[in-house]
Amino acid sequence: MTAPPASRTAPPTVSVSGLTLRYRGTVALDDVSFRLGEGVTGLLGPNGAGKTTLLRILATATPPDRGALTVLGNDPSTVAGRQAVRRTLGYLPQSPGFHPGFTAFEFVDYVAILKELTDRRQRHQEVRRRLDDVGLADARGKRIKALSGGMRQRVALAAALVGDPSFVVLDEPTVGLDPEQRMRFRELIAEAGQGRTVLLSTHQTEDVAMLCHRVVVLDRGRIRFDGTPAELTAAAEGRVWSSDAKAQGALAGWRTGTGEFRNLGDPPGGAAILEPTLEDGYLMAIDGAAEGAMA
Ligand SMILES: Nc1ncnc2c1ncn2[C@@H]1O[C@H](COP(=O)(O)OP(=O)(O)OP(=O)(O)O)[C@@H](O)[C@H]1O
């Protein structure tokens, strides 16, 4: 886990209050409020929790039905505010929507043009720099359709970081990557978090444990936890135990490689208590089982 940035006491970059959004009958976000400052914050939640919806609102791609949002003091509900937010924003969406015929350079350059980097020479320099940073210096001229999944993700990250945005929104950037690529991505995201506000949506609790100074857990459109990864892990303290057979009444329990069962929930008296992991804390949060510690 990275140390909290020194500027944590600085005013928040992003402030969200009472965000609510429905899709016909589905409440995707229900009265969501939080603040983000410098550094990498993880956003964890199961499928359908509302993560992408929240990120799309933060990236000004979708307006909320209700609630207020400010990014570096700008209000995206006005046209001028939206433009100001977009100038300070880097967004890696869940499906980056590449034009497969574009080269890596052309795609990042296209995003740089949308970000209003008008001076051609400076823009091209910036595009080369971002592609170099993600290790794609030799693949600049390659067509996106000829790149591997991991390389495409790196192009998408270069596009998110072009123009040096202050606020970076990453929607599951490590999905589908092999362990080595994920490690490389962690380095890049940690670097991106230096001096910037980064919100990282992921299903990987390991990514959060290794990268984030803070974690927000979203489930069924509501925030279930907001704190440090250590606090989320501590929420499962005394709630994980081992047994020879699957424990009755456990929230979750599975046989591990040693043949013993690892159980999560309310342990029986005398149970062999195990050290919790961040994933245990996360599972408790989404089961609403550790209510005292939850938001
Ligand atoms: N365009 C849409 N029309 C109708 N319902 C939608 C739409 N987009 C999302 N939803 C619903 O809103 C809820 C939140 O979806 P969202 O994609 O934000 O979740 P998520 O946490 O990003 O999920 P995942 O981890 O699977 O990507 C889900 O119930 C989803 O089915």
In the prediction, which pLDDT does 288 show? Answer: 60
pLDDT digits (tens, 9 = 90+) for 196-222: 999 999 988 999 999 999 999 999 999
Task: Measure the CA–CA gap between 286 and 278, rounded to whole angstroms.
Answer: 12
Task: Measure the CA–CA gap between 35 and 269, rounded to whole angstroms.
Answer: 40
Task: Measure the CA–CA gap between 220 and 26, rounded to whole angstroms.
Answer: 10
Does 47 contact ligand 1 (Cβ within 6 A)? Answer: yes
Does 51 contact ligand 1 (Cβ within 6 A)? Answer: yes
What residues contact 194, with CB distance under 8 A and at least 6 apart? none
Instruction: For the chain, give percent helix, strand, coil, nearest 5.
Output: 35, 25, 40
Ligand 1 mean position to 216 CA, how many Å?
Answer: 17
Ligand 1 mean position to 237 CA, how many Å?
Answer: 32
- Is the pLDDT at 293 greater than 70? The verdict is no
CA neighbor of 83 nearest in space, from 120, 109, 114, 53:
114
Ligand 1 mean position to 38 CA, how many Å?
Answer: 27
pLDDT digits (tens, 9 = 90+) for 40-97: 999 999 999 999 999 999 999 999 999 999 999 999 999 999 999 998 999 999 877 7
Does 57 contact ligand 1 (Cβ within 6 A)? Answer: no
Ligand 1 mean position to 52 CA, how many Å?
Answer: 7
Pocket test for ligand 1, best of 52, 200, 286 (most atoms within 8 A of CB): 52
In this structure, the residue with its CA closest to atom 31 of ligand 1 is: 48
Ligand 1 mean position to 84 CA, how many Å?
Answer: 27
Interface predicted TM-score (ipTM): 0.96
Question: b vs e for 34-72, b when ≥16 Cβ sit within 10 Å of the residue's Cβ?
Answer: bebbbbbbbbbbeeebbbbbbbbbbbbeeebeebebbbb
Task: Measure the CA–CA gap between 228 and 209, rounded to whole angstroms.
Answer: 9
Model confidence at 290, in pLDDT bands (50, 70, 90)?
Answer: very low
Run of H or E residues at 110: helix 104-114
Does 49 contact ligand 1 (Cβ within 6 A)? Answer: yes
Does 45 contact ligand 1 (Cβ within 6 A)? Answer: yes
In this structure, the residue with its CA closest to atom 28 of ligand 1 is: 48
Does 26 contact ligand 1 (Cβ within 6 A)? Answer: yes
In the prediction, which pLDDT does 10 show? Answer: 62
Ligand 1 mean position to 86 CA, how many Å?
Answer: 23
Q: How many CB atoms lie within 10 A of CB 114?
A: 12
In the prediction, which pLDDT does 100 show? Answer: 77
Run of H or E residues at 133: helix 120-133
3-state secondary structure of 67: strand
Average pLDDT, the chain: 89
List the domains of the chain with CATH numbers: 6-88+166-228 (3.40.50.300), 101-157 (no CATH), 233-293 (no CATH)
Pocket test for ligand 1, best of 19, 20, 26 (most atoms within 8 A of CB): 26
* CA dihedral angle for residue 6, residue 170, residue 14, residue 224, rounded to 10 degrees: -90
Model confidence at 11, in pLDDT bands (50, 70, 90)?
Answer: low
| Closest ligand 1 atom to 24 CA | 4
Question: b vs e for 153-175, b when ≥16 Cβ sit within 10 Å of the residue's Cβ?
Answer: bbbbbbbbbbbebbbbbbbbbbe
The sign of the CA dihedral 232, 236, 237, 242 is: negative
Does 48 contact ligand 1 (Cβ within 6 A)? Answer: yes
Does 50 contact ligand 1 (Cβ within 6 A)? Answer: yes
Task: Measure the CA–CA gap between 44 and 240, rounded to whole angstroms.
Answer: 20
